[in-house]
Homo-oligomer: A and B are copies of this chain.
Amino acid sequence: MPDGWTPSPIERERLAYRRTRTRRSALIAATSTIVLLAVGILVVINTPGWPQFRDSFFDIKYGWQVLPQIAEGLWLNVRLMVVCEIVILALAMAIALARTLRGPVFFPVRAAAIAYTDLFRGLPLILVLYMLGFGMPSLRVSWLPSSALFWGCVALVLSYSAYVAEVFRAGIESVHPSQRAAARSLGLSHGQTMRHVVVPQAVRRVLPPLLNDLVSLQKDTGLISVLGVIYDAVLNARIETAATFNYTPYVVAGLLFVLLTIPMTRFTDWVARRQGWTGAGGAP
């Protein structure tokens, strides 16, 4: 400390008390959590069906055996996710910004954006996949790409853009209008205001739901496999399960997905915390 301050005895006593109390409460909470978990696990393990359940879902040896194949599928999921996500974010932001335009002049633009959102958010992804993945090639137009993988990605982009656009819109609307007024008063145009003032604050506020969509996109890339062109993690798991009547490959795929999600979550949390207030909690 630059001013040579050392805690007074009373402060030290307070700190000690707080530490004790914290430690005790944390201990109680941790113990109860662990005990609860342990009891749950014990109950499950002692049920008559447990050995069969374990063999069906947690056959460790078999899990190791299928791991490489499923990991390879996951790598495909990840690549598809990255490619689609970039397009989705751009398109969704454009739609969200279109919806924020005010005045009767922009009515058609706004209406188009709303119609887009309503349509592609409402349609089941599987239908969009079928219509594009099977329907487009069936039009037999030479200049249209006929790759099912391409159309599968287009379907993902169309569906997810509608969702992500709504997320962005929520963020944009949560920025107080006085921020816009301040920016406009500095001479920034509507576009510049959005770009430099509103959108950065908006995105930061909706990072968790954005990540939600990213995580489910990552899993839904696998749906392209209905078009019969890719072997993603879940399809690989299904193939294995079909061969052995054992659900362990699904569990392996699930765990890999979880392991992939965790760093993404921590990263976005970190980004969110780095800029602006952390929010939450407040007074002691």
Contact = CB atoms under 8 A, between A and B. Distances in A.
B99 A280 contact: yes
A103 interface: yes
B170 A207 contact: yes
Nearest to A284: B103
Contacts of A213: 212
Interface of A: 21-22, 25-26, 29-30, 32-33, 44, 47-50, 52-53, 56-57, 99-109, 112, 117-119, 121-128, 130-131, 134-135, 138-141, 163, 166-167, 169-170, 172-177, 180-181, 184-185, 190, 193, 205-209, 211-213, 215-216, 219, 222, 234, 247, 250-251, 253-254, 257-262, 265, 272, 277-284
Is the contact region of chain A dominated by helix, strand, or loop, or is it mixed? Answer: helix
- Copy tally for this chain in the complex stands at 2
A212 B209 contact: yes
Contact of A170 (B33, B208, B262): B208
Nearest to A250: B127
A219 B127 CA distance: 11
